[in-house]
Amino acid sequence: MAEPMVKAVQVHKSFGRVKVLNGIDLEVARREVLCIVGPSGSGKSTFLRCINHLEKIDAGQLVVDGDPVGYVRRGGKMHELGERAVAEQRKDIGMVFQRFNLFPHMTVLQNVMEAPVRVRKESRATVRDRAVELLGKVGLADRRDMYPAQLSGGQQQRVAIARALAMKPKLMLFDEPTSALDPELVGEVLDVMRSLAEEGMTMVVVTHEMGFAREVGDTVVFMDGGVVVESGAPSEVLSNPRHARTKSFLSKVL
Amino acid sequence: MSDGVSSMRVQHMMETAGTPAAESLPTVRRRQPGRWVAAAALCVLLAMLINTIFTNERFQWDVVFHWFTSDRIFAGLGRTIQLTVISMAIGIVLGLALAVMRLSRNALISGAAWAYIWLFRGTPVFVQLLFWGFISALYPRLSLGVPFGPEFASFSANDLISPFTAAILGLGLNEAAYMAEIVRAGILSVDRGQAEAAQALGMTRGLALRRIVLPQAMRVIVPPTGNQAIGMLKTTSLVAVLAYPELLYSAQLIYSANYQTIPLLITASLWYLLITSVLSIGQFFVERHFARGTTVLAGRDDRRRSLRGLAGLLPGRRR
């Protein structure tokens, strides 16, 4: 069996005295789409942010593609990596935020080109071709010279996805990508994510869209109180939850 | 006027008829009698001002304009502009470094920046200029070498720190303390998500600061920096205490010989006003550059709107 893309073993994380993650165990296989659902405050976004070291874990192991994230193992201890080494790891992990976080002072095309040119030091011409192609893929080829403020939320989020993809990531993280959108704009973003999943991208998606989780997800993980309560195929977890907490959560959102 | 009356009549008729006013009615602007009173008062004051400017012979406009383009005033003006530009450059570069240090997670680094700002913001710039001017009384010799070890070179402080150097040090180091706080405010005004998005794309913090955070912070940084530059232009006049002949001191040297004090003070003031105006226009264009992407309007409309803003800078009718 192939090595998983993401492997979490007993991941712990606290903010001051508040324990947010209480031992997360989880695996994401290559080409798998894993959706994390759960009530707010359950630690699902924090866990996602740990995967690219935007948050530091306090204990446990979090390995992406064979490398511990943010740490290096030396003599039975995990030593924290320097800033550059962490940046190096993040190049291969794309992230999409709830609030898009596009760079407002750059045009759509500049947003997509920035990281490949400045971080990967690729030639402008190559990056430009790829950026135009990616914008075409998310249906925004004609918006390339506009600024983010001139786009709708759904369009901004699609640019954010193109921006992340321009780095050719091996893993994509989505942090509630449709939660800040007007209801009628949710579909266009989910469509882009669905086609990305069909292409075989490995994805971890924190979401409240149960329909998306059921239809696109290979695995659904239900988190509560900083632990994984249950996980399995969407049909199992969403239709026949075994745990009382899962049942009570689903009865509120479905 | 007649419109107002007729529209009122229409409304009255409809109300008496008991039917709701379904048609769209014209609106009448509220009259502003206060504006007319204020305008009249201002006109009288303006007339008085113009009158005194032209009739009070003690203004001696011929003397003012004789010296306005004289070599000695030009030399002083050149030194004032030079001092302003160099001091502001030091202030901005050092202020940026201090701001980044202040925001460091390392308590020692942020503490050092805090202490610098505390010292230089907490004492009058006039006193600081005097200190730099009299530095040789505190350290007669300045040397280069290993701390507490051998010296490689040693200089007389009096030779090394000329009045010009003292002025640059005094103004620039003081300015850095203020600029540090302005830059820090700018950096803090940028949403945290911006730095996070940059880091998630694999940028180091330095690159994220340079490419993503600072360009956005500039919208907050530029207006107070323009203020500081204009303030600096005028603060250079304090350098007269170091016997450095900038604009004001040049004027003072002239009137101490010919006793035409008021005309020469006017000459200097006119130059200060002129340079301030040029700086304001420069600031307008810098602000417009960093405002890109902040409106939903397309680029061209954006530009047109901004030009109207420039017109607002000039004296005259304001909307």
Contact B301/A at CB under 8 A? no
Q: Residue B316 — pLDDT band, cuts 50, 70, 90?
A: very low
Select from A94, A101, A114 the Cβ nearest to the Cβ of B211.
Answer: A114
Contact B262/A at CB under 8 A? no
Task: Decide: helix, strand or coil at residue A221.
Answer: strand
Interface test with B, best of A80, A98, A105, A161 (most B CBs within 10 A): A105
Cα–Cα distances in Å, from B39 out to A81, A188, B36?
Answer: 69, 57, 5
Min mean pLDDT across A41-45, A106-110, B271-275, B296-300 is at: B296-300
Measured between beta carbons, the chain B residues lying within 8 angstroms of A97 are 193, 196-197, 200
Note whether A101 contacts B292, CB cutoff 8 Å. Answer: no
Condensed to tens digits (0 to 9), the pLDDT of residues B264-311 reads 999 999 999 999 999 999 999 999 999 888 766 544 444 444 555 555
Nearest-Cα distance to chain A for B276, in Å, is: 29
Task: For residue B290, count other CB atoms closer than 10 A to its CB.
Answer: 17
Of residues B8 and A5, more confidence is placed in A5
Distance (Å, whole) CA B156 – CA B67: 38
Residues 6 or more apart whose CB falls under 8 angstroms from that of A197 comprise A33, A203, A216
Q: What is the mean pLDDT of residues A35-45?
A: 94
Task: Tell me the sheet residues that pair with A222.
Answer: A37, A230
Contact A17/B at CB under 8 A? no
Contact A88/B at CB under 8 A? yes
Q: Residue A253 — pLDDT band, cuts 50, 70, 90?
A: confident
Measured between beta carbons, the chain B residues lying within 8 angstroms of A150 are 296, 298
Question: How wide is the angle at C-alpha A209 spanned by C-alphas A207 and A210, nearest 5°?
Answer: 110
Note whether A119 contacts B202, CB cutoff 8 Å. Answer: yes
Select from A88, A104, A119 the Cβ nearest to the Cβ of B201.
Answer: A119
Instruction: Report the candidate in B249, B219, B198 with the shortest Cα–Cα distance to residue B83.
Output: B249
Contact A219/B at CB under 8 A? no
Nearest-Cα distance to chain A for B184, in Å, is: 19
Query: Is the pLDDT confidence value at A31 over 90?
Result: yes
**pTM of the predicted model as reported, rounded to 2 decimal places:** 0.84
Tell me the H-state helices in chain B. Answer: 2-17, 33-55, 61-68, 71-102, 107-122, 125-133, 135-138, 157-160, 163-189, 192-200, 205-208, 214-235, 247-258, 261-290, 299-313
Tell me which chain B residue has its CA closest to the CA of residue A115.
Answer: B201
Distance (Å, whole) CA A177 – CA A158: 10
Query: Is the pLDDT confidence value at B3 over 60?
Result: no
Query: Is the pLDDT confidence value at B79 over 50?
Result: yes
Min mean pLDDT across B20-24, B117-121, B131-135 is at: B20-24
What local confidence, expressed as pLDDT, does residue B17 receive? 52
Select from A52, A120, A149 the Cβ nearest to the Cβ of B294.
Answer: A149
Token output for B228: 């500081």
Condensed to tens digits (0 to 9), the pLDDT of residues A226-239 reads 999 999 999 999 99
As a whole-number percent, the residues of chain B with pLDDT over 70 amount to 86
Task: Tell me the sheet residues that pair with A71.
Answer: A80
ipTM of the complex, rounded to two decimals = 0.94
What local confidence, expressed as pLDDT, does residue B318 receive? 38
Note whether A119 contacts B200, CB cutoff 8 Å. Answer: no
Task: Tell me the sheet residues that pair with A34.
Answer: A204, A219
Q: What is the mean pLDDT of residues B244-257?
A: 94
